[in-house]
Amino acid sequence: GDSVTQTEGQVALSEEDFLTIHCNYSASGYPTLFWYVQYPGEGPQLLFRASRDKEKGSSRGFEATYDKGTTSFHLRKASVQESDSAVYYCALSANTGYQNFYFGKGTSLTVIP
């Protein structure tokens, strides 16, 4: 079945460090891929999405490129800030006649000032 794998469960970085959170997916066809961010006390909110191979999504300095060859959608940011501390979820939307979403287990990012 369809699934999303996030490798990192917890990440701790210093401000201005480079961030990579790995996301690999398993799905047939061309699912839509998403990154969501969840701040404490809030629900997840969309960071960005991508629907086609080689399409790059980006927002707030974060970016990820849809790679069908490696079935990946890795999240990167060149220089993290303390305000980026949050939980990040990779997700896919399967084209099954209705919209169903599959989420990774989430990565908790802590940025130390």
Partner 1 sequence: GGIITQTPKFLIGQEGQKLTLKCQQNFNHDTMYWYRQDSGKGLRLIYYSITENDLQKGDLSEGYDASREKKSSFSLTVTSAQKNEMAVFLCASSFGTNTGQLYFGEGSKLTVL
**Any idea what DSSP says for residue 72?**
B
Is position 25 an interface residue for partner 1 (rule: CB under 8 A)? no
Of the CA atoms within 13 Å of residue 85, those in its CB half-sphere come to: 12
The region of 18-26, 28-36, 61-69, 78-86 touching partner 1 under the rule CB under 8 A is: 28-36
4, two tokens: 């999303």
Is position 62 an interface residue for partner 1 (rule: CB under 8 A)? no
User: Binder to partner 1 among 45, 81, 83, 110 (CB under 8 A)?
Assistant: 45
The region of 17-25, 43-51, 53-61, 66-74 touching partner 1 under the rule CB under 8 A is: 43-51
User: Binder to partner 1 among 14, 20, 26, 51 (CB under 8 A)?
Assistant: 51
Is position 109 an interface residue for partner 1 (rule: CB under 8 A)? no
Beta strands (DSSP E) in 1-113 are 3-6, 10-14, 19-21, 23-26, 32-38, 45-50, 56-59, 62-65, 75-77, 86-95, 99-103, 107-112
